[in-house]
Structure formats: C-alpha cells, structure tokens
A = this chain, B = another copy of it.
C-alpha cells in the first residue's frame, strides 16, 4: 500500500451517493492521506458522472484539500495501482430496477430490489461484472482492498470470495448502521455504552445488545419498537410491526428486511398497492435522483445536501469510508460487515460469507463469535444462506435449473408454473445484462417468451421519467 499517497477508486462514481462518500473522506482527512480519487463510470452514466464529479471537486476544494479528483470511463486506468476500490454501481441502471419491480408485480408478487425475484435478478446481472472487476484488480492492483456496497451486497461479496478467489474484500450494508444510530436513544443510551452483536447474512440478520453494566438490553429495545420510537428502519421499507409474541420468543432484534418474511402478506399487499397505483420505489428514487442531480449542477454547491439522506442507502458511503479508514489505520473498530464466517456462526459453513459484528484491522475483518441460533432462526438463516449459494452459482454458470431452484426456494415466490413463467419473462427482459444465460434466453425467445405488453408499457413509461 502506498502509505502516504492513497489512490481511491470508486466504480459507479456517477452515483448520487458519491457526495456522501466524498464527505466521508473529507471528515477523515486526518486518517487518510489521500492523493487521488478516481470516479469511474460507464458511457451511459457519463453525464451523471460529470455532474457529480464536478460537485466532488468543489467539495474537495472547499475543504481546502489538494486531492486530485479524476473522472473516467476507463476502469482499467483507474484501477492501476489503486489502494482502495469501492463499488456502488447498478448494472442496467434504474431501468433494470423498474423491471425488477414491475414484472414481479404483474404476477401479483413482490417487486423489490434485493428480495424476491428482483433481488435474484440483481445478483444475476451484477455477479459477472464484479468478477470482471476482480479479474482486473488481480492484474492491476493486486494489493488493493475492495469495499463493496453494490447490492445484493452479501451475495456479491460471496461471489467475490468464492468465485473471484479474492479475499481482500469487505461487504457493507447500511442497515446495521442505522439500527446502531437510532436504537441507543430509545433506551436512553449512547452507542459507545452498548455492545452490539449482529449475526446473519446481508439483509437477513438479527442482533442482540448489552449495556455497559453487562446487562442484556435487547428486550428493552424491542419494547421500544412498540411504543412508537424510531429504531432505524431503512427509508425504503414499509413499516409493519413484527408480531410481539414472535420477538418475545426470539429475544433478538430482526433487521428491517425481515418484514418481508415475517409479515409477508402485508408487505406484499403494500407492494401491490403501489404497483396498482403505478408507483414503484424505482420511480421514487428517480424523483429524488432528479432532484439531487439538479442540486449537484449548482456550481455553488460544495457540500453534501441534506436531501441525500432521504435516499434509502444513506450512511452506506459513510460506512465505506469508515471501513477504509479502519483498514488503513488499523483502527480495530467494531463494524458489521459481510466477510468469511470462519466459525462465527457455527450453524453456517465456515468458508462462506456472513454478515457479522467484526473488528476491522489492517488485515481485514475479524468476526466476533456469535454462537448457535435457536431452531427457528437457524432454519431461516440456513435456508436463506443456501439460497444465496444457489443464486450465485446460477449467476456464474448460467444454469437454468439452478435459477429455477432459486426461485422455488425463495420464500417470497410461491413455487409453480407462474413462478417459472416469471423467471422466463425476467430472463428475456434482462437479456442485455445476462450473457451467461444467453443460450437459454434464445431458447425462450424461440418459444415465444416475451415481456408482456402492459408491463413493457409501464416500464417504458417509468424509464421515460428518468
């Protein structure tokens, strides 16, 4: 590592989140001797890259720093001798998200970015690209750290480790961050006075909490969840309460995404209501992004606007900066990250990725042991982790049987002919981004599988708004 002149690379640099990342670096200027920041994007994102890149330059300048900010479409130039590479790209842009939401919705199913059919396809589209990036990194910056916050973050991190054979990676998620930001106040505490233990996989984890007298306060926080306290639910998740009797038995705090599994019917109904009103989360994101990019174009704006916090992914980029600073500075900070299990969760294989409380050192994440789950949570997490493995293997091999197995396993997709039809339609709809499934897609098209007219129309309509 070039210890006094760090080269930071962000792939998907044209993202609306980039100002949070830049702000995160600026906040940590004493910890990170940055020399260059490279923001990389693809041709389709060039316009956004320029807007947000210039904004980044203004932010750096306003902070009185001499960091170079480079904007480029040449990923390999950027990766050359990089120290830290962060990934926050979205394959297929928001158009793909529209499809992930609208097509399942047209089947009466949940349309969501990281759960259900949408989450599976986001993995199918993203895994080949991230493995390509890893291939470049092996050649161009073999000592760099990869900080992934591209969703579905857990599956992407798993693919990087299992198929990319790249160990210097940390997968991030803002869900634990938000829980730790909001929960302490509900019980009159500060975060520094609590010990958090998270365990599970990305977007499917639980946590327990102890105070600084050694007393477990998990149930105290759970109780606060029922009296209206803000406990850090991500912005993009509809708020239905967990059944209290369930949490009383569980004695752990589920993450916000557990709502899709523990209150499946209500979450589905809410999703379908939005579908029927022709609303989608993608649309909302487009609206916010439009607003943000309008702001970013203001040549006088040189700090992160408060509106950015409304995006569901708030704090992701700050978490990334903190992970980078912890690695670089060997800070031994407690963070919740996706990393190799190594026994921390003995109910899951030790050589696969989990999301777990870890100490972040210069040599990476050291997970804290969590111990065994009770049977109910053990059953859930074993199902979900194995489903991740099936999805990743399908994403790498393009094996249709595995893709079908993933759909059938997914608790949010009732198995049967409709599920198979949905799979087929989504394969065809995502054709451009699924080279690994090319043969199967050709076969499906030959059988007349196509994106249904009505869906296609609303997709076009949504995309037109971008």
Query: Which A positions have Cβ atoms within 8 angstroms of B?
Result: 1, 3, 193, 195, 197, 210-216, 243, 245-246, 248-250, 261-268, 327, 329-330, 332, 334, 340-346, 350, 359, 361-364, 366-372, 375-376, 378-380, 382-387, 389-390, 393, 399-402, 404-406, 408-409, 411, 414-420
How many angstroms from the CA of A330 to the CA of B210 in the assembled complex?
A: 10
Q: Which residue of B lies closest to A269 (CB)?
A: B416
Residue with the highest number of chain B CB atoms closer than 10 Å, among A193, A359, A369, A378 = A369
* Contact (Cβ within 8 A) A330 B195: yes
Establish whether residues A371 and B390, one from each chain, have CB atoms under 8 Å apart when the complex forms: no
A264 adjacent to B330 (CB under 8 Å): no
* Contact partners of A371 in chain B: CB under 8 A: 340, 342-343, 350
**Contact partner, A361, options B195, B344, B416, B419, Cβ 8 Å:** B195
Smallest Cβ distance from A150 to chain B, in angstroms? Answer: 22
Task: Indicate if the CB atoms of B401 and A214 lie closer than 8 Å.
Answer: no
A-B CB proximity, top 10 nearest: A379-B386, A249-B401, A265-B416, A382-B382, A214-B362, A343-B346, A212-B330, A343-B343, A342-B371, A383-B383
Instruction: Determine the distance from Cα of A384 to Cα of B409 in the docked complex, in whole angstroms.
Output: 12
- Name the residue on B nearest A405 (C-beta): B376
Q: How far is the CB of A156 from chain B (nearest CB, A)?
A: 17
Contacts of A216 in B (CB 8 A): 363
Given A263-B416, A343-B346, A408-B262, residue A369 in contact with residue B372 (CB < 8 A): no
Q: Which of B368, B386, B411 contacts A367 (CB 8 A)?
A: B368
Can you list 18 contacts pairing A with B, beta carbon distance less than 8 Å? A213-B362, A214-B363, A216-B363, A250-B405, A261-B408, A262-B415, A263-B416, A264-B415, A265-B417, A343-B344, A375-B389, A376-B408, A379-B389, A379-B409, A380-B383, A382-B382, A382-B383, A382-B386
- A214 lies within 8 A of B383 (CB): no
Q: What separation, in Å, do the CA atoms of A267 and B408 have in the docked complex?
A: 14
A455, B337: Cα distance in complex, Å: 50
By a CB distance below 8 angstroms, the chain B residues around A334 are 332
Q: How far is the CA of A372 from the CA of B405 in the complex (A)?
A: 18
How many angstroms between the C-alpha atoms of A268 and B418 in the bound complex? 13
CA distance A78 to B330 in the complex (A): 43
**Which residue of B has the minimal Cβ distance to A245?**
B401
Q: Which residues of B contact A330 (CB under 8 A)?
A: 193, 195, 211-214
A415 touches B261 (CB 8 A): yes
Cβ–Cβ contact B362 & A404, under 8 A: no
Which of B265, B364, B378, B420 touches A243 (beta carbons < 8 Å)?
B420
Contact A402 B264 (CB under 8 A): no
Across-interface contacts of A417 in B (CB, < 8 A): 263, 265-266
Task: Judge whether A195 and B405 touch: CB under 8 Å.
Answer: no
With beta carbons under 8 angstroms apart, the residue of B1, B246, B372 that contacts A214 is: B1
Bound form: Cα–Cα A419–B3 in Å: 47
